[in-house]
Amino acid sequence: MTASETPTMAAGTTETAPTVVTAQAEAPVLPGPLVLRPEESCAFVIFGASGDLTGRKLVPALYNLFCQDLLPPGFAVIGYAFTEMDDASFRERMRDLVKNSPEVLVFRPKLWDAFVPALHYITADFENPDGYASLTARLGELDREHDTGGNRLFYLATAPQFYGPIALNLGRHGVAGRESRGEGWTRIIVEKPFGRDLNSARRLNDTLHTVFAEEQIYRIDHYLGKETVQNILAFRFANAVIEPIWDRRYVDHVQITAAESLGVEHRGGYYDTSGCLRDMFQNHLLQLMALVAMDPPVRYGSQSVRDRKADVLRAILPIDPAGVDAVAVRGQYGPGRRDGEALYGYRQEEAVSRESRTETYAALKLMVDNWRWADVPFYLRSGKRMPRKLTEIAIEFKRVPHLFFHLTPQDRIEPNVLTIRIQPDEGISLNLGAKTPGPEMRMCQVQMSFSYSSALGEFPATAYETLLLDAMQADPTLFNRSDAVELSWQVLEPILERWESGPSPAPFPNYEAGSWGPAAADALLAADGRAWKNG
């Protein structure tokens, strides 16, 4: 059966009566949009398969793709990790996690039973050659049993220090370079963080390139798999009323916010060595900024789109090390309250130093030195323990040059603001000025808005579904390229060096848990006559 004949459903769609078709294991396939599944099968190897990411995101995404008939026949998964498990215990553990996953709206036991034979497991050390010998043997078995054609997709869901050793061990065991021998294709997906500064990112790129060609490397950023993030390009370049005003002549400034209501939770040990700037800005926020600011690509394809994104990163004005404090603010949350609930301060969190100087909040003012965006500031911020979870891009347009209305204090004349909501409710809204009903000319603000769930009648696919499917189909458009990774670290390098060598702000912690961040972040925008938009 071809994909065009198969009714499918995006993950998250409410359950309807299934249509029984002849597909994988003759499983019922759920209705939804038509998407071509990969033509070639493969073995998907997850390093770090006993970790949180595998059970919380990766296997639920694969199960959702299976339910939509978007996995190729014979698709197989090998989990590889330290934790002692066999195939049966790994399958049982994944069943429990997938069944309770918020990524899976409807868990269907019969579909799971058809999917689960694809899951396998190897207990091994990431740096021990014996494990890779076992992996090579198991891959050969799957080629014969599942007809995977020698195709390999590796996923590094481990701690960053293992990325290089795993890649080198795969090279020593002859996994990379197999395409040149006609033995199937090989690709590797690398999770963030990709390095912790410019030099370490370059070293990691060099290590990966000793084993894999650049076109085989997929540096994943799950933000780029979100439907609304991808819709930035469609919204900008498919609408004649939008693109002509998307520049310095009409845009006053841009705000990009990624606020989290939670603290560091169980990630204190990792987070205290990383911080907000490394955790959120180098990948997520700078990528969002590049999508908003990029020029039109020649065509929608990996090379052209990624070229234009890299152009934006190259055009960001370098930050003067002596002037970091004028364009960058850091914060750390102390104890606070939200909705009557007492909240811990960062230094009281598990596995966090009681004298930690790690930032849990950061705000930057960046300028893009090109024709389109000259003199238009981009304000980026992210923080933990904020009042609510919110990720959005707000483009504020310039005020009209002349108002001829007889305005009163009750009239509301505000700049037009286009808001692209990435989470929790994916959608787009536009604030406009309008006349209030009645005989007098009175002004108010109205909003034109749509969300995916209401306007399109369905929830979008999860980010990992999109990205895993793209990797199987050899489409790197939504993945980061080596030059873009290094360029983003280059932007942040002066700030990282200043914050790590200089004293912390006084006082530190400098904002209460449950608030919108330190006062210095408000002052950053107030100095330009602007204010943060808090949803």
The answer on whether 398 is annotated among ligand-binding residues is: no
Please choose, from the candidates 22, 205, 10, 31, the residue with its C-alpha nearest in 3D space to the C-alpha of residue 105: 10
Please choose, from the candidates 452, 474, 480, the residue with its C-alpha nearest in 3D space to the C-alpha of residue 226: 452
Residue 156 backbone dihedrals phi, psi, to 5 degrees = -95, 90
The answer on whether 226 is annotated among ligand-binding residues is: yes
Taking CA atoms, 270 is separated from 202, 215, 230, 350, 433, in Å, by 21, 30, 29, 11, 47
Q: Exactly one of 209, 266, 284, 406 is catalytic; which is it?
A: 284
The answer on whether 365 is annotated among ligand-binding residues is: no
Residue-wise over 55-92: b if at least 16 C-beta within 10 A, else e? bbbbbbbbbbbbbbbbbbebbbbbbbbeeebeeeebbe
Contacts of 345 (CB under 8 A, 6+ apart): 333, 334, 335, 336, 509, 513
The answer on whether 414 is annotated among ligand-binding residues is: no
Q: If you search the block for the tokens 């909501």, which residue do you land on?
A: 421
Question: Coil, helix or strand for 29?
Answer: strand
Amino acid at 22: T
Please choose, from the candidates 380, 169, 376, the residue with its C-alpha nearest in 3D space to the C-alpha of residue 256: 380
Q: If you search the block for the tokens 């995101």, which residue do you land on?
A: 57
DSSP one-letter string for 409-472:
TT------EEEEEEESS-EEEEEEEEEPSSSS--EEEEEEEEEHHHHSSSPPPPHHHHHHHHHH
The answer on whether 82 is annotated among ligand-binding residues is: no
Between CA 73 and CA 149 the distance in angstroms is 11
The answer on whether 87 is annotated among ligand-binding residues is: no
Q: Is there a contact between 183 and 150 (Cβ–Cβ < 8 Å)?
A: yes
406 is catalytic: no
| Direct distance between the N- and C-terminal alpha carbons of the chain, in angstroms, rounded to an integer | 46
The answer on whether 90 is annotated among ligand-binding residues is: no
The answer on whether 126 is annotated among ligand-binding residues is: yes
Q: If you search the block for the tokens 């065009």, which residue do you land on?
A: 4
H/E element, 60: helix 59-67
Tokens of 392: 């959005």
The answer on whether 173 is annotated among ligand-binding residues is: no
> Residues marked as binding for NADP(+)?
125-126, 192
Residues noted as catalytic: 284
> Residues marked as binding for substrate?
222, 226, 260, 279, 384, 389
> Residues marked as binding?
125-126, 192, 222, 226, 260, 279, 384, 389
